[in-house]
Structure 1
Amino acid sequence: MGLHCQRHGLIALAFLLAFGVGDVWAERKAMVIGNSAYAEKRLLNPLNDAEDMESKLTSLGFKVILVKDANRKVLLQQLENFRSGLSPGDDAVFYYAGHGAQFEGHNYLIPLKAEINQDKDLEYEGLDIKRVINALDPVQNGLKLAIFDACRDNPYPGSGRSAQRGLARMPDVPNQTLLWFAASPGEEADDGKGRNGLFTQHLLRALDRPRLKVEDVFKQVSRAVMAATQDKPKPQHPYPEGQTLVDFYFTEAAPEPKPTTTDPATVELGFWNDIKNSQDQEDFQAYLQQFPEGLHAGLARNNLKRLVGAGSKPALVGSKLTAEVSKPVALAGLEPAPTDLDRPQPNHFRDCPACPEMVRLPAGEFMMGAAPGEAEAGSDEQPRHRVKIKAFSIGQYEVTQGQWQAVMGSNPSNFKQCGDNCPVETVSFDDIQMFIEKLNAKTGKAYRLPTEAEWEYAARAGTSTPFSTGDCINTRQANYDGNYDYNHCGAKTGVYLQKTAPVGSYPANPWGLYDMHGNVWEWTCSAYTDQYDGNDRICTNSANDRRAVRGGSWDIEPRALRSAVRNGDVPTKRGVYYGFRLAQD
């Protein structure tokens, strides 16, 4: 009886395997590790990298084990948990962000609290990458991929040590296994300009692109990283090892968008009917921003002038806009963005020909941080809180290359060919302090960077939606990577300039400020903290504090352009994404 049952069991098993039941049971599984809090050479971004990778992989159907700031014992325990949970038909991804080192041709991931006083200590205190590769062994028919954003500078480069920079080549990779390294053997990986390491930043984006085979994902990431570092003294070249015959796609084909049949005239009429009897200036400002040449634009301007004269809100009226910058230009096949130079503007002034055009904003209060339910909001955008702002002045535009050249006698920008009217970039917080010191000496004024709260107050311009443009934004309104959407709102247009645009190329916000969304991240004078704690309202005096940067840039997805989005970086960091605008009390 036992033999008979056993024979039938084997036949049934063979039948199930032959007809692909293994695929039915197959799952996507991942282990994600981020180590930042090293006693020596703390890293800024690996925790962000790991959290964002865990979120991304989860959204792509992976069951993820997330490990953060772990010592060797915890890493080994979690690695064994990962291994024991894998089945032959699973697709498995391992991801690590943190320090790594090589010694005598072996590569090691460095846990927290590792006591490495000499090279041989790596064997006992580090985690040999081969153990990671072996943990993927249970997978037989699916994807086996290990990703290492671990080529940052060796944190233990003491005198007399032979442990080298970067990681070593690994030619003996098991069959059907892929290894991705953020940098080539002997190179160091960039820890990133803001929230993510450079390699991981581009990897997160590529994972969203539909119908890309796993090998093509790596190719896209490699091209993006090499392009971003080509002008640096040490360019970064991501490096793959191994191969796979598995046709694996992180993201399947995106559904075709449903065609819209909404008549623009119907949209405008609906907007006008909603606001035509309003006593709120902002309603008519919003109408004119969206429909500057609309059927009711004249009535809207008349109502706006009447309400301003009646003082329904703090007056924002000044003289007609006369900013000494180029008018909007055509970008990447787009028509020039519409502007309305006759629209009432805040009071504005310029202290000298090379000084920035400044806009005087009234005192007020607003809710700072992401609104409840706001899509893709980060934990650092909380808690939402009410902030009172004193009247102050802020630059109508980002400081330009021409203005920097006039004050400093040099131009550090990567996109010099863009011209004097483009925002200066590749400037650190410390660089900007030198610029401000010289400008103040020339003018006798007291320019400074805005606080984080002042910046968001100006960016929102009286709105409470994710963007000052409403619940969505598009590439006719801001410079960002239009290959991505935000909350299925239509922000994905396919337009991506891959560079900065001249300031003022896009419509102003309701308070007459340009490029508060996109173009370049803007430095503030406030210390960046993981959650709001009052530092957002003041300028920090600590030389070592990370500073908050705001607004998103030309090379990022639309979610990062939201008014509430926060990022932070060390004051010495330069990047092709970093610029600024000035403020005065």
Structure 2
Amino acid sequence: MRFLLLALLAAAMLVLPPCHASAQERVALVVGNGAYRHATPLPNPPNDAADVAAALRRIGFTVIEGRDLDKHGLEDRIRAFGRALDRASTALFFYAGHGLQVAGKNYLVPVDAKLERPGDLSFETVEVGQVLGQMEAEARVNLVFLDACRDNPLARTLARSLGTRSASVGTGLASIQSAVGTMIAYATQPDNVALDGDGRNSPFTTALLKHLPTPGLDIAVTMRRIRSDVVAATRSRQVPWDHSSLIGDVVLVPAATPPAAGPGPVATSTPVVAPPPPPSPGPAATPSPGAERGRDADIAYWTSVKDTGDIAQLKSYVAAFPDGTFVALAHLRIREIESRAGRPADDGRTKVTALDPGAGVPPRPRSPRESCASLTAPAGTDLYCASSVLAPQFGSSYEVRNLFAGDPGAAWVEGASGDGTGEWVTVAFDAERLVRGLVVNNGYEKSADLYVKNGRVQTLRLVFSGGETRSVTLQDRLGPQTVTLDRPVRAHWVQFVIDRTYRGTRYTDTAISKLSVLSERAR
């Protein structure tokens, strides 16, 4: 009888299918918080969470999901996630909503959080480290996606309560060092603010949903494709970032296996040539310090040339990093500049002849949506060009010419989606100048009421034709402000980029009423 049982068991083992990974072995926690009670509500995070959860279920994840969670609800989901990880080989955490960093640590913000004093932080928020602690308790593949860098008024409230220690409250999220086997992906670079988006999803989640289901795609390649899409969609205002200590390839959706060819009639139509099968993965390798330095150099080089508008510098990046993260975007920039070379700047209403800086001077930055107007300045002729302009409405226009118009109620109002971060005004000169500073009237100064309803500029980044940059902080007040540089800068043009804004109480558009450059002709 014993031998008969053993024989039956052996036969059963021969006919049973091989054991595949169960759904429980891949577990995800997906959270989207948008209905904030004491902070700016965000329309997209609940949509982001719902769509990411559905996408993960389709590729075999067991998903623990939560939307618009208060502190108690968020902690409950994290505990449930931790219990579900006991048998998991892959853990994934996705969070969309408000987040903030304090003293280098990142915190997720529940919808009921109210931060009025420093002691509230530990009681009102959840540190990201609590989730990572659950994931990294055992050796497994851990994937973290943080779409939590949106502009957060709670961070500003906390900074004010900290007084002289307010510098410990940073913008966006801080970079986190992870354990081996973990990748942490941020919607944008550390210390920067990400966009919520105008459609159903944020730019980051839109790209994630597009590339996550791709068969045979390693997660590192997935992130590069996500980064490329977001950079293009936000016109370089947002650059997704990641910190990875993964070992070997991580493929969430296996590559499709082509069916075996069988006998049949010979096709007489034009044959379709199938792409070659993907190469088989090699042995897992730990990224070398040299590889990490190479990635850092790639990013640093691109950052130094991406806003120059100089084809030669963009091509030098492609030559230095032929397989770099931003090669596709570099080619797009090159084609755009080449297609516009030699054409006059045109705002759609007034023809303006572009100033020729002469040979050897990098051309000024251009935008497909720019508006330009010229000004006869004390030192010569200045050409003002804005990257985008709000369309006329209510009998008012918001062209770049308003920056030097005599009407105190006129303003340049940027018209791109979002809060204006990344939009710019370039002032080009007819000859080389010594730029000493600027005078600016911040916001839309038609009335005190409209001033606070619209966005105002908090930080301007000055990019000069010679490659130098400066960053200046403007006061949030009515009236002219004079900003003097620490030393004069020689330039044929200067670009004023909005890096940070004071958010309006009603409108997302950011305005500047007056802008003039303090300069003199260089000798």
| TM superposition score normalised by structure 2 | 0.46
Higher strand share: 2
TM-score, reference length from structure 1:
0.42
